Amino acid sequence: MNQQARIFVAGHRGMVGSALVRQLTAAGYPNVVTRSHAELDLTDQAAVQRFFETERIDVVLLAAARVGGILANATRPAEFIYQNLVIEANVIHAAYRAQVERLVFFGSSCIYPKQCPQPIREEYLLTSPLEPTNDAYAIAKIAGVKLCDAYNRQYNTQYVALMPTNLYGPNDNYDLTSSHVLPALLRKAHEARLGGAASLTVWGSGTPRREFLHVDDLAAATLFMLEHNVTEGLFNVGVGEDLSIRELAECICKVVGFEGELVFDASKPDGTPRKLLDVSRLAQMGWHATIGLEEGIAATYREFVELHAGSSAAALQA
């Protein structure tokens, strides 16, 4: 990729977008273009078209999305399907109209069927029904994959779709009603430790298995794809290993130093039983994740304490 390329990171204040900006800046790309939501509402088609007509963008990294954990997905499906469909359609179409040749669209491993053979290969997409707790979000993300594919076929664009597994890292959402499991358990363990609680509540049975990728690894994979001139297709991005939610909770408690008991709340949904990605497509090209889970959780916890816990950080050091 041309070092002077004007690279629009859509969603730069989110976890993925901010990791992309850090990665591009560290790699010496000087022309990273960003817009806050107040400056550019990506659900406003006319505003998105005006932006692309005036900004001469070369590369788009489409990380703007409505995202959330299992409960947010299950209870607010209309917001998840509507906002994601509109953002994707507006950005991809306006990028094509402005002759943007390269675009990376970010989806999620929940696009694959609920009962998928494991590990999940890219070609298992649309082979059987989706997980109901996140089917609205998944359909929107599948539409994004198909938009890229259709524009490539009809207009010779070079739009690529990356499907990361469950992500974590800096700038994650720690709101317990809308977050994903890893930040939720990190916060719960932190508060349980500081409050001297005897137990910590984990949603569901603890038996579902998940794979976790540090968002800096996703940003590294994205730059790898851009620099290796990958021009089309769907690519899983993960670490190639998973663990149960119980094991994740135990690992988080160890990092945080909470020694109480785990209590499982069966009234909350388990969701997909397992979604381990087959990452051999990227591995064959030479890319592997490098941040181990315990190491990544420890770094994320330090950031959480510094940014979110305020005065309790001092208590933790004591």
Active site residues: 137
Taking each helix axis as running N to C, give the angle between helix 77-97 and helix 135-155, from 0 to 180 degrees, rounded to the nearest 10: 10
Decide if residue 140 touches ligand GFB (CB under 6 A): no
Look up residue 98 and give its DSSP letter.
T
Decide if residue 65 touches ligand GFB (CB under 6 A): no
Q: Which residues contact 101 (CB under 8 A, 6 or more apart)?
A: 58, 59, 157, 158
The response to whether 13 counts as a known ligand-binding position is yes
Kindly tell me which residue out of 271, 278, 293, 305 binds ligand GFB, with binding defined by CB under 6 A: 271
Kindly tell me which residue out of 209, 210, 225, 226 binds ligand GFB, with binding defined by CB under 6 A: 210
Decide if residue 59 touches ligand GFB (CB under 6 A): no
Q: Are the CB atoms for 267 and 206 separated by under 8 Å?
A: no
Comparing C-alpha atoms, which of 227, 220, 210 is closest to residue 289?
220
Q: Which residues contact 133 (CB under 8 A, 6 or more apart)?
A: 70, 73, 74, 269, 271, 272
DSSP, collapsed to helix, strand or coil, labels residue 315 as helix
User: Of 22-30, 151-159, 233-241, 268-276, which segment contacts ligand GFB by CB under 6 A?
Assistant: 268-276
Comparing C-alpha atoms, which of 302, 171, 172, 316 is closest to residue 258?
316
Q: What is the nearest approach in angstroms of ligand GFB to the Cβ of residue 317?
A: 26
Decide if residue 268 touches ligand GFB (CB under 6 A): yes
* Cα 246–chain centre separation: 22
Kindly tell me which residue out of 202, 223, 237, 291 binds ligand GFB, with binding defined by CB under 6 A: 202
The response to whether 12 counts as a known ligand-binding position is yes
DSSP, collapsed to helix, strand or coil, labels residue 238 as coil
Measured between alpha carbons, how far is 55 from 10 in angstroms, rounded to an integer? 13
The response to whether 287 counts as a known ligand-binding position is no
- Judged by CB, which is closer to ligand GFB: 5, or 176? 176
Decide if residue 114 touches ligand GFB (CB under 6 A): no
The response to whether 270 counts as a known ligand-binding position is yes
Decide if residue 110 touches ligand GFB (CB under 6 A): yes
Kindly tell me which residue out of 108, 222, 236, 300 binds ligand GFB, with binding defined by CB under 6 A: 108
- Judged by CB, which is closer to ligand GFB: 9, or 163? 163
Q: What is the nearest approach in angstroms of ligand GFB to the Cβ of residue 82?
A: 15
Kindly tell me which residue out of 7, 57, 62, 73 binds ligand GFB, with binding defined by CB under 6 A: 73
Q: Could you give the C-alpha distances from 224 to 7, 27, 85, 127, 146, in angstroms and in order? A: 15, 11, 27, 29, 22
Site string for ligand GFB, 154-193 (x = CB under 6 A): ------------x------------xxx--xx--------
273, burial (CB in 10 Å: exposed 0-12, middle 13-18, buried 19+): middle
Q: Are the CB atoms for 157 and 98 separated by under 8 Å?
A: no
# chain residues binding ligand GFB, by CB under 6 A = 25
Measured between alpha carbons, how far is 287 from 217 in angstroms, rounded to an integer? 10
User: Of 10-18, 191-199, 202-210, 283-291, which segment contacts ligand GFB by CB under 6 A?
Assistant: 202-210
Q: Are the CB atoms for 187 and 309 separated by under 8 Å?
A: no
Kindly tell me which residue out of 96, 137, 168, 235 binds ligand GFB, with binding defined by CB under 6 A: 137
User: Of 15-23, 196-204, 217-225, 309-317, which segment contacts ligand GFB by CB under 6 A?
Assistant: 196-204
62: left (phi over 0), alpha (psi -120 to 50) or beta: beta
Binding residues (CB under 6 A) for ligand GFB: these are 69-70, 73, 108, 110, 133-134, 137, 166, 179-181, 184-185, 202-204, 208, 210, 245, 268-272
Task: Please report, in range form, the residues annotated as the binding site.
Answer: 11-17, 141, 164-167, 180, 188, 203, 210, 270
